[in-house]
Structure 1
Amino acid sequence: MQYYPQPTQYPYPPQQYMQPVYYPPQPSPEQQRENTYRRLLRKNANSVGTLLLLFFGAELVIGVIVVLILTLLGLQGQGTTGELILLENGAISMIVFFVVGVIYCLIRKLRFASIFPFEKIGAGFLTQLCVVGLTFSLMSNYVVSLVNGVFGLFGVENTGGSFEVGDQPNVLLYLLVVAVLPAFAEEFAFRGIIMGVLRPYSEGLAILISSAAFALMHGNFVQLPFTFCCGLVFAFIDIKVNSLLPSIIIHFLNNGLSVLSDILISYKILDEATANMCYGVLFVILGILSFIFIKRFVNKDDGSFFTVKNGNTVLPYKEKVKTAITSPTLIAFAAVMVSYSLLTLITGAA
């Protein structure tokens, strides 16, 4: 029997004690989806806020540039004609909303069909929608006039977002700048771009943010709640039929009626009392028709006409709203416009 001596040391050194590695708890797959969704929504809401700030900034800068150019040409001053004022406002509106909006769409590579839907609508249904929308617009106009009258009793002249065009403005130019251009430019910006960017996340969210932006952009503190309500109606109608056509028509008709009233009074065709009476009769007729049409909408499809889609269910609707409205650029835009509106109101009282 052969003897093998035992080794004096182990062939391998003894294992040393290893500290356990700490791995922080990872969010669940569902939480990861929520966080990703929240980041995307916040990113798009910030993008919308940036666009709105650009709209307002461009409006101020371009307005100053236009005034400087006209001053250098000797066209700006006490003798400024109503036509020139209309041209100024028309040019600013075109540049601010169309040019800035198109550049934004190109930079973000937005699909035209997704932000400017124009699905076919039956003439009868379109007429009903326009009647209802116009009724809400006229009602808001009445309330704003009433509130302005109350402010006037205290010496406050609320002129935010308005301009004077003289005693007898050019009819076609007045109609173009006050009714046609805003109908296309503002719907392009608010119910088109802004609502189109946010709509994939939630139709209700898109309606809410676009309407609030529409109201704030007018820069009129008294009109703010009523313009917001009009924006809600415009946006809701466009969402339901997936087309910008109804809001464009309603916007044009609302502003066009104001133009018609001003023209009739300016050219001494009607006095102010008669024009207001005609306006009131039209409002009553449209109100009766709207009641009938709304009742039809309620009965249609068991009332589902008045519901909107919440989009992806990763986040509940309240969380989506909270995520969007706490975006830094949207907060900045709201603060700037509220300050501007208050400043306009205060200076009107001075």
Structure 2
Amino acid sequence: MPYPYGKPLKRYPTEEERAWLWEDGNFVGGAMILLVSLLSFLFSIVATALYTGGVLTGEDLLSETLGLSNTRFLLLYGAVYTASLGLPTLLPLLLFRKKLPRFRGRPSADITVNALFIGIGACYLANMIAGVFSGILEQYGFYLPDAPDYLEPTPQSLAVNLLVMALLPAVLEELLFRVTLLGTLRRYGDGTAVLLSALLFGAMHGYAAQSLFAFLVGLVLGYITVTTGNVYIAMAIHFANNALSILISYAQLHLSDMLGGLLAALCVNGLLLAGLVLLIVAAVRRSPLLRMPRRGTLRAGTLAGGLAGTPLTVLAIVLLFLRAVYLNFCT
């Protein structure tokens, strides 16, 4: 089936366009089903296999790090995480034989710099918004569990944390959500593709406050991907957002509480200010970065019904809902 990216759909879809909706809905749904399943069960399967093979003991299974050092546990987690994100990216593409845009455009240097700093600043703004939302949820008894801290005051630990907690998510999540899923949905309009891929990105994270943060970040990264035509910029923003948090935490292990807090405040506020200034400059100069290239013409109801009404999408929505209920109410 032809896949004419950039060709706008008509307001009233033809039979061929209805076939696109059916195929794309099942494609996106299948990828999300595989993703949710792997995120939920793959690590437990690996741990059970290691126990069965005699590598781990029963006591190890009860340990947060499976009886391993923090560094080794992170490496194991990184391997499982790579499979959990890599398989939903590759298998649906092979099964559906999709041909996606490569997002390897070459924006000018000033657009690249603007996109990087505006994107990083927007990520920190999204984090602040999610923090306020988390505080509201706590008033009603919904607490976001503390993220496990595997960072130790050694260069080796820092390197492994940057690899597993910053680089891998930046590459794998952008490939899945900004290339595979956004690329699939892009023929229905860039705005539609950015919004839906961001919703899926938020839903993947499960916890309410994390989902809001991921949704807002997904909007930013998706927008930058389609306006610059380059997914590597989104990867760089994603990596910088994660890596800066790790680097600040690492520095705080070697600093007093006052200096550590001052460093964090300077970094966050400095990046927010830089992003705001460059955003204003881009607006004054009418930068292409602030223009959404393509718009779809298919009716919202037809689009939503066509994509969400496929069997695999329905199952994916149910699984995402059940996972969110479990994470928010049962943990």
Match of 1:90 among 62, 67, 78: 78
**Aligned equivalents of 1:274, 1:151: Cα separation in 2:** 30
Q: CA shift at 1:31, angstroms?
A: 9.4
Letter matched to residue 92 of structure 2: Y
For 1:67-78, list aligned pairs within 5 A.
67-71=47-51, 72-74=54-56, 76-77=60-61, 78=63
Q: Identify unmatched segments of 5+ residues in structure 1.
A: 1-29
Partner in structure 2 of residue 204 of structure 1: 191
- Separation in 1 of the partners of 2:255 and 2:309? 50
Q: Which residue of 2 aligns with 1:115?
A: 101
Q: Does 1:102 align with 2:90?
A: yes
Q: Is the 8 A contact 2:225 2:231 kept in 1?
A: yes
- Choose from 294, 316, 325 the match for 1:309: 294
- SS at 1:288's partner residue? helix
State the 1:59 CA deviation: 2.5
| 1:51 maps onto 2:31 in alignment | yes
Specify the alignment match of 1:341 in structure 2. 324
Counterpart mapping for 1:1-12 below 5 A: none
User: 1:127–1:166: structure 2 CA closer, same or farther, 3 Å change rule?
Assistant: closer
Aligned to 1:274: 259
Q: Percent identity?
A: 21
Q: Deviations over 1:149-173 (max 9, x none)?
A: 565677654238x434265571111
Pairs within 5 Å for 1:132-147: 132-147=118-133
- Distance across 1 between alignment mates of 2:139 and 2:257: 20
Check 1:197–1:134 CA distance in 2 against 1; reply closer, same or farther (3 A cut): same
CA-CA distance at 1:93 after TM superposition: 1.7
Where in structure 2 are the equivalents of 1:273-292 lying within 5 Å?
Answer: 273-292=258-277
1:312-331 correspondence runs (5 A): 313=297, 315-317=298-300, 319-331=302-314
CA distance in 2, matches of 1:66, 1:263: 30
- The Cα of 1:231 is off from its aligned counterpart by 0.3
Contact 1:205 1:321 in 2 (8 A): no
Q: CA deviation at 1:33?
A: 4.8
Counterpart residue type for residue 23 of structure 2: K
Q: Deviations over 1:18-66 (max 9, x none)?
A: xxxxxxxxxxxx9985343133223212211111111111223321221
Whole-angstrom CA distance in 2 between matches of 1:54 and 1:244: 23
Unaligned ranges ≥5, structure 2: 1-9
d(CA) in 1 for partners of 2:16, 2:173: 32
Larger radius of gyration: 1
Paired residues in the alignment total 312
Label 1:167 to 1:288 Cα distance change in 2 as closer, same or farther (>3 A): closer
Q: How many Å apart are 1:322 and its aligned residue?
A: 4.4
Residues 157/168 of structure 1: CA separation in 2 closer, same or farther (3 Å cut): farther
Aligned pairs (5 A) from 1:17-56: 33-56=13-36
Note the C-alpha offset of 1:263: 1.8
Deviations 1:109-163 (A, max 9, x none): 233xx33321112233211101111111112223334444565677654238x43
* One-letter identity of the residue aligned with 2:234: S
Query: Is 1:255 paired with 2:255?
Result: no
TM-score computed with the length of structure 2 as normaliser: 0.83
Amino acid at match of 1:137: C
1:222 aligns with 2:233: no
Residues 241-270 of structure 1: per-residue CA shift (max 9 Å, x gap)? 1110111001000010121122223xx312
Q: 1:289 to 1:37 in 2, by over 3 A?
A: same
| Range with bigger deviation, 236-245 or 270-279 | 270-279
> How far 1:200 moved relative to its partner?
1.7
* TM-score, L = length of structure 1: 0.79
* CA-atom RMSD in angstroms: 2.8
Q: Is the 8 A contact 2:177 2:197 kept in 1?
A: yes
Distance 1:147 1:103, change over 3 A: same
Q: How does 1:120-135 map to 2 (within 5 A)?
A: 120-135=106-121
Separation in 2, partners of 1:281, 1:35: 56
